[in-house]
A and B are shown apart, each in its own frame.
Chain A
Amino acid sequence: MAELSAKKTRWNEWVLEKLFFFCAFVSVITTAAVIFILLEETLTFFETVPVLEFLTGTRWTPLLEPKHYGILPLVAGTMLIVMGAAIVALPIGVASAIFLSEYASHRARSIIKPILEILAGIPTVVYGYFALTFITPGLRVILPDTQIFNAASAAIVVGIMVLPMVASLCDDALRAVPASLRHGGYSLGATSFEVTTRIVVPAGLSGIFAAFVLAVSRAIGETMAVTLAAGATPNLTANPLESIQTMTAYIVQVSLGDTPSGSLTYQTLFAVASVLFVSTLMLNILGTWVMRRFREVYE
């Protein structure tokens, strides 16, 4: 028998591996580029507008004279949408998840899950259309004071959009609770209501919390539906029947016009986007961290 020959580098294999690595590394470059670009333009913006004025100012009128650059009205508008969407999506999402994981027959599950997937796959611009042509007129029948563009209609439709995500993540969280805990409860003479609300839901609580956090992050970043339905009035209000503007809707409004690069208005895009990016990123990190933690409990 001949000896084993010395280890040799297969160059084509080596090149392929480096190529594959580069493809995976594109994602890191993307993140770095996002951070670099947002930071660069935002810092230039802060040379003209003080950070404090930007973060605490209560008037946002960069497109009108006199110009004001206080982001609070946009943040308030976004929060109004987020809270409205949460009121719609969280209870319905959790109840649906309980139905799916605790009650639904195999057949019912195989019908409901695809419907949720379809709802999740409908483009956001379609939800915007639905809000404007269906929900808003409906609201105006019930509450005649409602403005044509209003936060409530957008909030409801954003709630519908994040509902599938809440339902499916909560369903995962509840299904991860071991069946033996349920059986322990039933063997003590508990009803399904007691087992669900006192054992299963508490055991899956961190997963449900993670779902909430990720849903809020989604709602903050939602753009088209709020642009179409909520209006373009930066408005520091808590009244959901009024027209408001969210951070995302402002970005769309500016980019629909012709904004020369380097202008202060162009820079506001990046300043607002920075706030948007940082807040959604923090929520996403929190959400995935909580989700990973709760998975470890049962594995």
Chain B
Amino acid sequence: MSDMNFRTQAFNKANLKRRRAQSKAFEYFCSGVTGLAVVVLALLLYDIFTDGYRWVDAQFLNSFPSRFPEKAGIKSALVGTLWLVGFTAIIAIPTGVLAAIYLEEYAPKNRLTHFIEVNIANLAGVPSIVFGILGLAIFVRFFGLGRSVIAGALTMSLLILPVIIIAAKEAIRSVPSSLRQAAFALGATRWQVVRAHVLPSAMPGILTGVILALSRAIGETAPLIMIGALTFVAFLPSGPMDEFTALPIQIFNWTARPQETFHELAAGGIIVLLAVLLLMNALAVFIRYRGSKQ
């Protein structure tokens, strides 16, 4: 104990003061840096709105693209996006949700199941443009679907499937197992248990995940360029085999032009795109809120 002067130790006040200041400075630094994220979002929205708000009107929504900016609009792009998302939803939602049901409720704990799970996680990290190449080679060329709505929807479906499966799995896993056991104890089959108890309880979570996945499909550009969605379309698709364009493609096309006026049109398109995404997110938040109340 010779080295330890019990209780006579003078705590160095200056040292404490310096450390307290250092700690405060660090806290301010971290919160300031976090504030940067808010600033960036504000700048981005400001940039887009000041550039584009003048163009967003009924004429803009109701016109086809044109060489003349004042006549140009996003009608075909907006309708094309709706076709695309509609078919993507029809293909991807059932597949994704049923896959999640299989993995959570049916799958045995074996190496195949593990492999499928790891595979889904890795697919979620594959760059979207690689899905575009897959769509180009398989749907457009091999199956001969051409640059059609259905080729685009199939490609998008593969892209968002991992997102839907992961979200749906999480929602299904959060259903308490006591609920399943209660139903099984009444002599229900597995599918009866899933349909009558698990799915209804997991539905808000599944829907939220589905909506977020579809918003991703609405904003994706690269895969559509790969499969050759057109950039200058003056007609509306009338069926799944028709050629089409989509909102992000139109925005890309306008942004890539050197003329300032087309940039403003692009900003106008972005405002519409963000408005659509905002609506979908609001819907997701609403569903989550209602789900948490029940």
Contact = CB atoms under 8 A, between A and B. Distances in A.
Interface of A: 10, 12-13, 16-17, 19-21, 23-28, 30-31, 33-34, 37-38, 41, 91-92, 95-96, 98-100, 102-104, 108, 112, 115-116, 118-119, 121-130, 132-134, 160, 163-164, 167, 191-194, 196-197, 214, 217-218, 220-224, 228, 248, 251-252, 255-256, 261, 269-270, 273, 276-277, 280-281, 284-285, 287-288
A24 B273 CA distance: 32
Contacts of B96: 23
B52 to A, nearest CB: 9
B126 A129 contact: no
Interface in B253-294: 255-256, 263, 266-267, 270, 273-274, 277, 281
A27 B116 contact: yes
B123 A251 contact: no
Nearest to B162: A27
B120 interface: yes
A92 B36 contact: yes
B98 interface: yes
Question: Binding site of B, secondary structure by majority: helix, strand, loop or mixed?
Answer: helix
Contact of A251 (B31, B125, B226): B226
List 6 A-B pairs, minimum CB-CB distance, nearest first: A221-B127, A123-B219, A20-B102, A193-B23, A191-B23, A284-B125
Interface of B: 19-20, 22-23, 26-27, 29-31, 33-34, 36-38, 40-41, 43-44, 47-48, 51, 94-96, 98-99, 101-103, 106-107, 115-116, 119-123, 125-134, 136-138, 141, 158, 161-162, 165, 189-191, 212, 215-216, 218-222, 225-226, 228, 231, 248, 251-252, 255-256, 263, 266-267, 270, 273-274, 277, 281
Given A26-B161, A163-B37, A128 B219 contact: no
B222 A280 contact: no
Given A27-B161, A273-B129, A125 B221 contact: yes
Given A20-B98, A129-B270, A99 B123 contact: no
A84 to B, nearest CB: 16
26 contacts: A12-B191, A17-B102, A20-B98, A21-B106, A23-B95, A26-B158, A27-B123, A34-B131, A34-B134, A96-B30, A100-B34, A103-B31, A104-B34, A116-B37, A122-B274, A124-B219, A160-B40, A167-B37, A192-B23, A217-B125, A221-B130, A252-B222, A255-B132, A270-B137, A281-B126, A284-B122
